[in-house]
């Protein structure tokens, strides 16, 4: 997450108020995410299925909100060429935006599967989704 954030800022010339609000959502998500992570870890150690399902729902909900903040972050950048340090980088910003949407909704799917099928399925998604997001950082690093 921090690598994507840093890579984006390295490619911006300026910021706007909408961007700062979107960035606030990203940063708030980064600050809040350790709480549901701890709740999930403790629930998994308890071996109580109801606690595990509730913890999966909490984690998925917070992660979804953070993912939607990333979508807003990329949306604001992609629609405002004045922000870009490279005027030819439209493709990069639009690709980052397109990649953020399935990432955000991946947490919704994970939460639903974890609550209604098995928490272990959600854990698989929770591990795989950051790897999906890592590819956005790789995209930005090559731009």
User: Taking the domains of the chain in order of start, what are their residue ranges?
Assistant: 2-142
| Cα–Cα distances in angstroms (integers) from residue 87 to residues 6, 8, 14, 15, in the given order | 19, 14, 13, 15
pLDDT in tens, 63-120: 999 999 999 999 999 999 999 999 999 999 998 898 889 888 999 999 999 999 999 9
Euclidean distance between the first and the last CA atom of the chain, given in angstroms as a whole number: 18
> For residue 88, which phi and psi values (nearest 5 degrees)?
-95, 15
Tokens standing for residue 74: 């990329």
- 10 Å CB burial of residue 27 (0-12, 13-18, 19+) is middle
What is residue 12's DSSP assignment? B
What pTM does this model have? 0.89
- The mean-pLDDT minimum among 26-35, 71-80, 131-140 falls in 131-140
pLDDT in tens, 46-61: 989 999 999 999 999 9
**Position 135 confidence tier, pLDDT thresholds 50, 70, 90:** low
């Amino acid at each position: 997450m921090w690598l994507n954030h840093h890579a984006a800022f390295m490619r911006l010339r300026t910021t706007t108020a909408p961007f700062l609000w979107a960035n606030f959502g990203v940063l708030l998500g980064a600050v809040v995410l350790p709480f549901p992570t701890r709740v999930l870890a403790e629930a998994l150690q308890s071996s109580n299925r109801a606690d595990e399902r509730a913890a999966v729902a909490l984690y998925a909900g917070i992660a979804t909100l953070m993912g939607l903040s990333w979508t807003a972050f990329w949306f604001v950048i992609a629609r405002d060429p004045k922000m870009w340090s490279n005027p030819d980088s439209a493709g990069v910003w639009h690709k980052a935006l397109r990649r953020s949407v399935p990432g955000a909704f991946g947490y919704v799917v994970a939460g639903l599967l974890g609550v209604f099928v098995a928490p272990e399925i959600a854990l698989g998604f929770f591990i795989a989704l950051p790897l999906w997001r890592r590819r956005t950082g790789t995209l930005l690093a090559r731009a």
